Chains A and B, each alone.
Chain A
């Protein structure tokens, strides 16, 4: 079964550093998402991406965050200057279309630890 792949599985960084989290969505999917889950809390939506642009973003997704689809396969989330509170599990998801049976498939996540 096709799957969403995320790398790295665990990223440790110093506060103030830039990090890039990488995702390879399912190949024929058109809609891409990033979510995060702070330890012990619910999964929160960050951003959705379609047709090479952001379609929606949450309040969490401020100027420190950006997303990019640099080629036909990768989808990245960049945090420019990490803060301690950015420590969380970050999930990438993709779906083939909207509505109906088009479910979101999630990657295994990248655990970001900001020290």
Chain B
């Protein structure tokens, strides 16, 4: 079964606007992480939120976690053209002893100047 699912699949916004994307998952987690991937490139870690945390901030990023709804959101404020990328949520499940991550399908964000 698929663990992480993001929506929307694609998001197109103007520079300066906020971008919000959501991630839902199915099973209990230790933490949820967000990664960014520029086209054809590697995965860059953005932020980790633990299961006992509800909100975290890092610069222009804000992540929330609702374990009762098994969902998370990533907000990018005041977006820039350089934020154009795919964003993935990844979960580390409580049943997993070895720390593997399960990724969602990603949200492709395009920020136009």
**5 more CB-based (< 8 A) A-B contacts, given A106-B44, A108-B41, A109-B42:** A31-B98, A43-B88, A43-B90, A103-B33, A104-B99
- Tell yes or no: B75 within 8 A of A by CB: no
User: What are 25 A-B pairs at a CB distance below 8 A?
Assistant: A31-B98, A33-B99, A33-B100, A33-B101, A42-B88, A42-B103, A42-B104, A43-B88, A43-B101, A45-B101, A45-B102, A50-B98, A55-B97, A56-B97, A56-B100, A102-B99, A103-B33, A105-B45, A106-B35, A106-B42, A106-B44, A108-B42, A109-B42, A109-B43, A111-B40
Chain A contact residues: helix, strand, loop or mixed = strand
A48 is an interface residue with CB less than 8 A from chain B? yes
In the complex, which residues of chain B have a beta carbon less than 8 angstroms from the beta carbon of A107?
Answer: 42
Counting residue pairs across A and B whose Cβ atoms lie within 8 Å, the total is 64
- A106 CA to B38 CA, complexed, in Å: 13
